[in-house]
Structure 1
Amino acid sequence: MLNKFTKSSKPASYIELDMMLNDARREERRGRADLMVSRLNILASKIRRDELTHVEAAELLYQEAEKLQAQIEEAH
């Protein structure tokens, strides 16, 4: 049986809903990117301020990666 609403003949309400969902997804991605930029700037500032060695800076990055991984696991 053919679907009554093919991609080219979707009612306007479905198209509007699809556009709203895409906008929400883009906004969510933008928010996550902004958060990541902020976290990276904080880490860079700490590395410079505290004059961390390359080993200490790497450890700080590993710790941040572990935090992010824990957040991902909590979300799922």
Structure 2
Amino acid sequence: MKLRNIEKRKTQVGADDAGLNSLLTAARMEERRGRADVMAARLEKLAVFITQGGLNGTEAAELLRVEAVIIVNEAQEIH
């Protein structure tokens, strides 16, 4: 015998939710700004490494590929 406890609810979105939606939008934008700052810092670090190390185009491209793999792996750990 299977016991089921299924309760269906409909969520209404109305004028009262405008403040909540505004807060969520602001939080999302702040998160995006934070991620952009982190990415800019990473790119700057790579640029310095390439310049100071005197890497040629092929070496710089390989460094960028390695960094891309690191970023993808980090993103997968988040989800």
Query: Given the alignment of the two structures, is residue 47 of structure 1 paired with residue 20 of structure 2, yes or no?
Result: no
Q: CA RMSD in A?
A: 1.5
Q: TM-score, normalised by structure 1?
A: 0.83
Q: TM-score, normalised by structure 2?
A: 0.80
Structure 1 pair 6–28 and aligned structure 2 pair: CA distance change class (3 A): closer
Q: Percent identity?
A: 42
Query: Given the alignment of the two structures, is residue 37 of structure 1 paired with residue 60 of structure 2, yes or no?
Result: no
Instruction: Return the index of the structure with the highest Cα Rg.
Output: 2
Instruction: Identify unmatched segments of 5+ residues in structure 2.
Output: 1-9
Runs of 4+ residues over 6 Å off in structure 1: none
Richer in helix (by share): 1
Q: Name the count of aligned residue pairs.
A: 69
CA distance in 2, matches of 1:6, 1:61: 44
Instruction: Identify unmatched segments of 5+ residues in structure 1.
Output: none
In the other structure, the counterpart of 2:4 is none
Residue 6 of structure 1: CA displacement?
6.3
